[in-house]
Structure 1
Amino acid sequence: MDERAKIPVSLPSTNPTVSYWQDPPDDLADHRSTPDLPKFADTVIIGSGITGAAVAWGLLQGPNPSSILMLEARQACSGATGRNGGHTKAASYRTFPHHASTHGLATAKQIASLELRNIRATHAFARDHAIDCDLRPCDTLDVVYDAGEWAAAREGVRGLRAAFLKTTPVGRYTLYSREEVLAQFPVHDGVFEGREERVQGGVGYFAGSLSAYKFGIGVLRACVDRGLNLQTGTPVTGLVAVSSSATDGEGKWDVNTERGVVRAGRVVLATNGYTAGVWPRFQGAVVPLRGQVTAHRPGRGMPAGGCLDRTYSFIYERGYEYMVSQPEGSRFPGDIIMGGGLAKAQEEGLMEYGTTDDGAVNEEITDYLRDTTGRYFGPDWGEDHPEGRTRSEWTGIMGFSPDGLPFVGEVPGESGLWASCGFQGHGMALCWECARALVEMMEGRDGEELREWFPDIFRITEQRMTQRFRGRLDAIPKAEEK
């Protein structure tokens, strides 16, 4: 893993796989607000995913918003936001015990509360601004196939219930026995690597799904309408800090692009897995990891044609898949979106770390993901669609940190350079609220009110940036049930 973390991070691929969500691309995909880049901007945001869009929206809410320039290397919202599975889900019970034992109960409660609030805020913004993004708030079910994972799941639920009370939103989880899962839901025992794995139990709670691409585009469009200068097809090739004597009050950073140099008063890195490609100090601190997703046409036996009433995850030893079904009214109602499979690749997906090439897929993961729907849904899947099971598959680049937490705040020792990145593949449960916190910090509202709800442990520190990267912390094996 040390060698994978050292691979120099590059700019985004110029020929990415075609994401299900971006086919066809939105009219805003190649937008340039002005023919040429401005010479100066008060704030330059690098990256146009949910984080960049949310930061721009926050900065534009003041009575006298400053000039904001957003630079995107490829098309608008073409990175991880436009390539994820669309799952607005926070499996807080899985991380709560670790956070409580490592960072203390108060911090663990802050993180769990933020995750649920993030999902609700994302849903609320889509509703309030009438963003057509196939939004569907609903319950989810985690189907657990491993005894150790099932024991850990129950421990996590007990911990959250004790911390928040079972009746509060954050502590509202339902545990299902094996018999209840098999009787109430269209899932079955599976076969993993030639051996049968039995359902151990399930965990139900609130979640939802949406097209993160359509949502991100919707936020960007609202920002452009309010004065954001969006420049797509403009890779940032480097940042240069400019001394105060040289700026004459004009700015602190020179942002170098293939189309010219922009001087900025401050810069926001909303670049997630690509962050070290823009600012090398993040090399090894935000490590890219290529994730893979596939869209399946629903099997003929699926209930409601595949438009299921909830989302799912399927958890096994050292790995998991996550799944949403497209709702009625979407372009392809009933399509099953299945992501994951990393642990089933050679060396548990080691070669997917450190790569920024979302222009290719891992064939091992392709083969594995294709079989997931028939395996998990068993007889309820039925015959494959006449046009074939797989409609499309694609990859995207996530960003992982050594301690499993995002980096949010001003980069140590670099005045005016801000970042919100490293979301561990769980950006839909973190990005919006982290962006809101970053705006509070940038606008000078970094006081007790912010600290009441935003975890200090998310803030960027030199110590956090220099830790050794060990891979996905959520893949550390659980102890066998005794």
Structure 2
Amino acid sequence: MGIQSPRLPEHRDIVVIGSGVTGCSVAWRLLEKGDPKTTVAVMDAREICSGATGRNGGRIHCTVVQDYDKYSRLLGQAAARETVRFELAHLTAYHDFARELGPEVVGESEMRHLRVISAVFDGQVLEDPKRMLDTFKRDFPDLADSYDIIDTKQTQGAMVYNAGAVWPHRLITKAFQVARSRHGGRLSIETNTPVISVTEDIFGAQYLVKTPRGIISARHVVHCTEGHSAHLLPNLRGIVVPLKGQMTVQCMDGFPRSISAGDCYTFIFGQSFDYAALHPVTGEVWMGGGSSMMVEAAGDFLGEPSDAAESIIAKAHLSGILPTVLAAESPLKASISTKIN
């Protein structure tokens, strides 16, 4: 989805750099809920939603049981509770957003509810989730019935809870289309327009956003570029660091009928995990992860912002997980296509 103004606007109140889920959320909120006179420009070096948002598996999912344990140790219980509630609100927010865009968008973007089965293969590793879950249920009694640990044939055990999924590229591109139709006079979308630098003017009253097509002045600039943020914000270098994950789409022959499109799976190996979901329409398996394999085998996947190369090690790992884990139920053969996330 490539969009450009005939001429780059000279001024906007707010410039948003990045057009993934974060950039879309910021722009939408400013236009729908902000001052009706505010003007916004959304900049992207490539096309709309062409980065990690557009390539990932679309799981609306947070590991709040483990997160609550971590946040409690780092931030204290009060802040941990607040942060976990914020994470959990995303599932409802995504569904509400799709409905706000139009009832047809829920279907087009394949917005749906899922059950997560988070499988652990090491009995010792399972003891930590059990302990964390006991604490979580104690401190979140209203959520206690939504989380449980079950036995499975192929693993030491699995935590089960609710999540969701969406086709993110479809949702975000549709959101920008609706935003243009509602707020075209206040919103300019400038794709294939990389931001080279952001500096203050001589009076310190405006930011100057430099691009190959010219300069936009703005009162505020919002950076929504995730791992690329430090390119324009040098003080973040070494603090915000890109980390690649591998996303695959796998066509499985002989997939067990016991696997439901209403379920998605997380496979936990030590401190790393992979995730898989069965597409409800095509029957393909969307599987991602392999980050620990990439970091161990090729350190340039940590701190490397380019998405031009994929990881053979991660692809090999991901293509072997399901046939190995589910071999007792059905012999699987996989053909695999991949994308960097």
TM-score when normalising by structure 2: 0.92
**Pairing partner for 2:166 from 200, 210, 213:** 210
| Aligned 1:22-171 pairs, distance under 5 A | 29-32=1-4, 34-61=5-32, 62=34, 64-129=36-101, 130=103, 131=105, 132-165=108-141, 168-169=142-143
Q: Alpha-carbon deviations, 1:408-458, whole Å to 9, x = none? A: xxxxxxxxxxxxxxxxxxxxxxxxxxxxxxxxxxxxxxxxxxxxxxxxxxx
Q: What is the alpha-carbon distance in structure 1 between the residues aligned to residue 288 and residue 96 of structure 2?
A: 25
* TM-superposition CA deviations, 1:107-148 (whole Å, max 9, x none): 111111111101211122113323221111121110111233
Of 317, 320, 326 in structure 1, the residue corresponding to residue 270 of structure 2 is 317
> Percent identity between the aligned chains?
27
Say whether 1:368 aligns with 2:283.
Answer: no
Q: Which among 180, 184, 194 is matched to residue 224 of structure 1?
A: 180
Count of aligned pairs: 333
**Structure 1 contact 342–349 (Cα < 8 Å) conserved:** no
1:394 aligned to 2:335? no
Contact 2:16 / 2:222 at 8 angstroms: preserved in 1?
yes
2 CA distance for matches of 1:52 and 1:239? 17
C-alpha deviation, 1:324, in angstroms: 1.4
1:290 partner SS: coil
* Contact 2:248–2:287 (Cα < 8 Å) also in 1: yes
Q: Within 5 A, what are the aligned runs for 1:274-423?
A: 274-303=228-257, 308-328=261-281, 333-345=282-294, 347=296, 350-384=299-333, 389-390=335-336, 392-396=337-341
Q: CA deviation at 1:162?
A: 0.8
CA contact (8 A) 1:307 1:326 kept: no
Bigger drift between 226-235 and 44-53 goes to 226-235
Equivalence for 2:192:
233
Distance 1:348 1:153 in 2: 28
Deviation of the 1:276 alpha carbon: 0.6
Relative to structure 1, the CA distance from residue 346 to residue 46 in structure 2 (aligned partners, 3 Å threshold; closer, same or farther) is closer
Q: Do the aligned residues in 2 keep the contact of 1:96 with 1:108 (CA within 8 Å)?
A: yes
Instruction: Specify every segment of 5 or more residues in structure 1 that has no aligned partner in the other structure, as ranges.
Output: 1-28, 183-187, 189-198, 397-482
Moved over 4 A (4+): none
Q: Distance in 1 between the 2:59 and 2:325 partners?
A: 18
Q: Distance in 1 between matches of 2:227 and 2:263?
A: 29
Decide which of 247, 252, 256 is 2:210's aligned counterpart: 256
Q: Is the contact made by 1:314 and 1:320 (CA closer than 8 Å) also made in structure 2?
A: yes
Does residue 172 (structure 1) correspond to residue 146 (structure 2)? The answer is yes
Change in CA separation of 1:303 and 1:115 when aligned onto 2, cut-off 3 Å? same
1:19 corresponding residue in structure 2: none
Partners of 2:144 and 2:6 lie apart in 1 by 47
Report the AA paired with residue 236 of structure 1: V
Equivalent residue runs for 1:440-455 within 5 Å = none
CA distance in 2, matches of 1:63, 1:51: 20
User: Residues 160 and 171 of structure 1 are in contact (CA less than 8 Å); yes or no, is this contact kept in structure 2?
Assistant: no
**1:67: how far off?**
0.7
Q: Retained in 1: the 8 A contact 2:295–2:302?
A: no
3-state SS of the aligned residue for 1:66?
coil
Give the C-alpha shift of residue 39 in structure 1: 0.4
Question: Contact 1:174 / 1:205 at 8 angstroms: preserved in 2?
Answer: yes
Structure number with the bigger relative contact order (C-alpha 8 A, sep ≥ 6) is 1
Q: In 2, are the aligned partners of 1:40 and 1:262 still within 8 Å (CA)?
A: yes
What is the alpha-carbon distance in structure 1 between the residues aligned to residue 14 and residue 255 of structure 2?
A: 53
Aligned-pair distance for 1:265? Answer: 1.0
Once residues 63 and 302 of structure 2 are traced to their aligned partners in structure 1, the CA distance between those partners, rounded to angstroms, is 23
Cα gap change, 1:65 to 1:139, in 2 (>3 Å) = farther
1:428-443 aligned at under 5 Å gives the runs: none
**Cα distance in 2 between the residues matched to 1:110 and 1:217:** 31
SS of the equivalent of 2:97 reads: helix
Unaligned 5+ runs, structure 2? none
| TM-score normalised per structure 1 | 0.66
**Is 2:297–2:313's contact at 8 Å kept on the other side of the alignment?**
no
Q: 1:209 to 1:381 in 2, by over 3 A?
A: farther
